[in-house]
Amino acid sequence: MRQGPLTGLKIVEFAGIGPGPFCGMLLSDLGADVVRIDRKGGRGGAPSDITARGRRSVALDLKSPEAVETCLKLMEKADVVFEGFRPGVMERLGLGPEVALKRNPKLVYGRMTGWGQTGPYAQAAGHDMNYIAITGALHAIGTEDKPVPPLNLVGDFGGGALYLAFGILAGVIHARETGKGQVIDCAMSDGAASLMAMFYGFKASGMWQESRRSNLLDGGAHFYDTYQCSDGKWVSIGSIEPQFYALLLQKTGIDDSDFQRQMDKSAWPQLREKLAHVIAQKTQAEWCELMEATDVCFAPVLDLDEAPKHPHNKARETFVEVAGVTQPAPAPRFSATPGKIQGPPPQVGAHNAEALKDWGFSEAEIAAL
């Protein structure tokens, strides 16, 4: 039994990589019935394939007219379809939005790409780092020496999957109110640019310098940075507000008058060195004992083994274990209709009969496939 605020929402997902599966996971975790169209002969179903969890898989040969018709029939019954191919691929398969919306005028048709459906880069290959590079985000993240890719969190998952999920749900609300579906052109580069809104505001107000680690939130400020402890582990300190900064000085035992120049950017490099020396005198555990759960704005920097074991994460059950694999629990949380992991990552084609039957296909139609 599916559970969550999106229970009853019917979604067709065309299998892809990166932000597409992550978007499908988010929607499934909140209760949507997501049927994933996989290509015949593909692999899947490993417990470690976390972003594939909670869906049912139908394997089809999309070069077959019968399979294409099956996809269109699924779209007729769906609230949403989304895909992550390069522009034009779905059209060549006979599954583009023009065809789909004729069959189902209420359909929300989500398109996930790196560069978008239009523009000079639209047909070019790329990855997260490339998509955020043209937005100003990558230039702003890293060391003084070079930009550093922030995993694939900003483009794929932040600018891509989350914006696609947001767009899909907005489209569903509009379709239910008006009876009209539409196409969502979700580009990771657009989403990453949107995420940079505050920083473009900083630049416009004169608060932003283009050199890395010279600004408030990029590690330039000594009170908003990471520091290594005596045991080689790290802590994060974000004591921006004056009262939090005062508490930082109290907890660290710093009485150096130079630290009163908190917002003097010319003093930041020297103060960072001094603070680094202080933090290096104790272990991470010792700093946690002094600062954790206080208004210093402090947290230990944890690796992927440590994070699920942290008391706060354990108390909130932020991580769960499924089939021996530790993974993030569904988010966000709902008081009346909590989401859940709806099932394991599916084997490709595991639900051909089950899913199609549930979506209204006859046994004869299923057998013909």
Residue 35 CA to residue 355 CA, distance in Å, equals 7
Residue range 216-236: mean pLDDT, rounded: 98
Q: What is the pLDDT of residue 127?
A: 97
Q: Which of 156, 190, 218, 225 is catalytic?
A: 156
Q: How far is CA 68 from CA 46, 96, 110, 352, in A?
A: 27, 11, 18, 14
pLDDT band at 348 (very low <50, low <70, confident <90, very high): very high
Q: Domain 10-195+330-368: which topology?
A: Rossmann fold (3.40.50)
pLDDT band at 1 (very low <50, low <70, confident <90, very high): confident
Q: Is 127 an active-site residue?
A: yes
pLDDT band at 28 (very low <50, low <70, confident <90, very high): very high
DSSP 8-state secondary structure symbol assigned to residue 147? B
Q: Is 310 an active-site residue?
A: no
Q: Where are the alpha helices (DSSP H) in 104-255?
A: 128-133, 137-140, 163-178, 188-195, 197-204, 242-252
Q: What would the pLDDT profile of 278-312 be if each residue is shown by its tens digit?
A: 999 999 999 999 999 999 999 999 999 999 999 99
pLDDT band at 46 (very low <50, low <70, confident <90, very high): very high
Correct CATH for 224-314 of 3.20.20.70, 3.30.1540.10, 3.40.50.300, 3.40.640.10: 3.30.1540.10
Q: What is the pLDDT of residue 33?
A: 98
pLDDT of 335 strictly over 80: yes
Segments making up each domain of the chain, as ranges: 10-195+330-368, 224-314
Q: What is the pLDDT of residue 365?
A: 85
Residue range 268-276: mean pLDDT, rounded: 98
Based on its alpha-carbon atoms, the radius of gyration of the chain, rounded to whole angstroms, reads: 24
pLDDT of 369 strictly over 80: no
Question: Does the global pTM surpass 0.85?
Answer: yes
Q: What is the pLDDT of residue 41?
A: 80
Q: What is the pLDDT of residue 364?
A: 85
Q: What would the pLDDT profile of 170-191 be if each residue is shown by its tens digit?
A: 999 999 999 999 999 999 999 9
Residue range 119-140: mean pLDDT, rounded: 97
pLDDT of 125 strictly over 90: yes
Q: What would the pLDDT profile of 197-223 be if each residue is shown by its tens digit?
A: 999 999 999 999 999 999 999 999 999
Residue 278 CA to residue 228 CA, distance in Å, equals 10
Which element (helix H / strand E) includes 74? helix 65-77
Q: Which of 127, 139, 174, 310 is catalytic?
A: 127
Residue 226 CA to residue 50 CA, distance in Å, equals 29
